[in-house]
């Protein structure tokens, strides 16, 4: 199987709660060659990026050539090219690749290597952080980074556990049998400053359940963040992922202590830039006619209250008197243009048929800058 390389780019499109995505203000877009340093940090759910081979012990049978999706090399190559095209489009809009890009719904390291070798993004020279996790379908999270901007110091998977005061619906036996994605932690130097990144894909909402499970996922990331802040005073933390929750839900607002407004962010709180965007009617995915932002990034207080001259989260979009600190990238080519799902993300499969789209999620990102 041919290997491919991907790079990450940034984009300036936001999606309203219904209808066609609208272009965001670009006046504060980071540009190459500026005196100040700026870095794009984002997340993208790649919607079932599977190769065509069976991974022992994983339930990946629908993504095999003789499986339900008839997942052939031709379809796989098309999927890879599509994912790389989005990353490239973000770069073209922003004149820079993402420095850090977290991803989810990937099967293994092989598909990540194929992606970063795609000709559209090979020049980004993305390096990969990935661990095989316990999810029964075999889907994991991972992180791409540019080695010219980020120096990797440490990485580890954080297992999902039930060691919590949260009251779970599952019995102890069900908890022992439960398998979900690990949370990835990556620590290193971005622009010479200490950063840690968490990448998560929290448990599903299938059957309108799992609020307790996702709350526990938020709690795990928060507890691990507090440990890092104690061990490395001043460390800047970004937690990102497909949370399967909106930023207003308990996992993010209560257990991650995500605040909508910077003025409310205390030393042990997080700033949740996509919460105000959700309230303004923007979305990164649509379900049954309702827009949500499950593709979330939150930052700790050290990225909000950073001293002048050091990296802090930067405003990206101004609308009236409101500043938004996040972006949702939603180009027309990534959006269904007609039919029942017109105006929503153009996905890989629809109604059980391969339609050759991109993902059922739009990517999201923030920018940190030192001016």
List pLDDT tens digits, range 129-177: 999 999 999 999 999 999 999 999 999 999 999 999 999 999 999 999 9
pLDDT in tens, 318-334: 777 789 999 999 999 99
Helix or strand run (H / E) with residue 199: strand 193-201
Identify the pLDDT of residue 206.
87
Q: How far apart are CA 80 and CA 84, in angstroms?
A: 6
Please state the rounded mean pLDDT for residues 309-322: 88
Mean pLDDT of the chain: 91
pLDDT in tens, 235-286: 999 999 999 999 999 999 999 999 999 999 999 999 999 999 999 999 999 9
What is the reported pTM?
Answer: 0.90
Q: Which residues of 234-248 are buried (b: 16+ CB within 10 A; e: fewer)?
A: ebbbbbbbbbbbbbb
Q: How many CB atoms neighbour CB 206 within 10 A? A: 8
Picking from 314-328, 332-346, 352-366, which range would have the lowest pLDDT averaged per residue?
314-328
Q: How sure is the predictor about 317, in pLDDT bands with cuts at 50, 70 and 90?
A: confident
Residue predicted with more confidence, 300 or 31:
300
| Three-point CA angle 12, 15, 16, nearest 5° | 135
Identify the pLDDT of residue 240.
99
Identify the pLDDT of residue 35.
59
Identify the pLDDT of residue 354.
96
Q: How sure is the predictor about 102, in pLDDT bands with cuts at 50, 70 and 90?
A: very high
Please state the rounded mean pLDDT for residues 20-29: 34
Instruction: Give just the sign of the alpha carbon dihedral 278, 285, 316, 37.
Output: positive
Residue predicted with more confidence, 35 or 27:
35
Q: What percent of the chain has pLDDT over 70?
A: 90
Identify the pLDDT of residue 218.
98
Pairing of strands 22-23, 150-158: unpaired
Which residue's structure tokens are 């190459």? 32
Does residue 344 register a pLDDT over 90?
yes
Q: How sure is the predictor about 32, in pLDDT bands with cuts at 50, 70 and 90?
A: very low
Does residue 19 register a pLDDT over 80?
no
Please state the rounded mean pLDDT for residues 333-337: 97
Residue predicted with more confidence, 350 or 304:
304
On the 0-12 / 13-18 / 19+ scale of CB atoms within 10 A, 165 is exposed
Q: How sure is the predictor about 208, in pLDDT bands with cuts at 50, 70 and 90?
A: confident
């Amino acid at each position: 199987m041919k290997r491919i390389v991907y790079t990450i780019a940034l984009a300036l499109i936001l999606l309203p709660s219904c209808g066609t995505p609208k272009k965001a203000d670009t006046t504060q877009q980071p540009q190459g060659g500026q005196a100040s340093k700026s870095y794009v940090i984002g997340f993208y759910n790649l919607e079932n990026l599977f190769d065509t081979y069976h991974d022992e012990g994983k339930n990946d049978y629908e993504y095999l050539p003789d499986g339900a999706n008839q997942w052939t090399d031709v379809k796989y190559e098309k999927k890879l090219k599509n994912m790389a095209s989005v990353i490239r489009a973000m770069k073209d809009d922003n004149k820079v690749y993402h420095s850090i890009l977290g991803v989810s719904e990937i099967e293994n390291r092989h598909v990540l290597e194929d992606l970063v070798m795609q000709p559209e993004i090979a020049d980004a020279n993305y390096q990969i952080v990935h661990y095989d996790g316990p999810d029964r379908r075999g889907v994991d999270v991972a992180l791409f980074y540019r080695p010219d901007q980020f120096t990797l110091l440490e990485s580890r998977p954080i297992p999902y556990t039930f060691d919590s005061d949260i009251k779970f619906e599952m019995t102890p036996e069900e908890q022992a049998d439960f398998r979900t994605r690990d949370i990835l932690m990556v620590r290193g130097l971005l622009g010479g400053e200490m950063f840690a990144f968490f990448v998560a894909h929290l448990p599903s909402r299938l059957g309108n359940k799992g609020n307790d499970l996702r709350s526990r996922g938020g709690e795990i990331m928060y507890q691990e963040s507090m440990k890092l802040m104690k061990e490395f005073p001043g460390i800047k933390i970004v937690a990102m992922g497909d949370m399967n929750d909106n930023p207003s839900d308990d996992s993010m607002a209560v257990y991650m202590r995500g605040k909508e407004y910077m003025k409310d962010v205390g030393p042990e709180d997080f700033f949740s830039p996509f919460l105000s965007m959700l309230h303004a009617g923007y979305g990164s995915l649509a379900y049954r006619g309702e827009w949500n932002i499950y593709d979330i990034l939150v930052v700790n207080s050290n990225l909000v209250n950073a001293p002048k001259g050091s990296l802090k989260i930067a405003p990206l979009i101004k609308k009236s008197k409101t500043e938004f600190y996040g972006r949702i990238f939603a180009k027309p080519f990534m959006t269904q243009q007609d039919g029942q799902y017109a105006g929503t993300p153009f996905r890989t499969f629809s109604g059980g048929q391969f339609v050759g789209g991109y993902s059922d999620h739009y990517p999201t990102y923030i920018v940190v800058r030192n001016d």
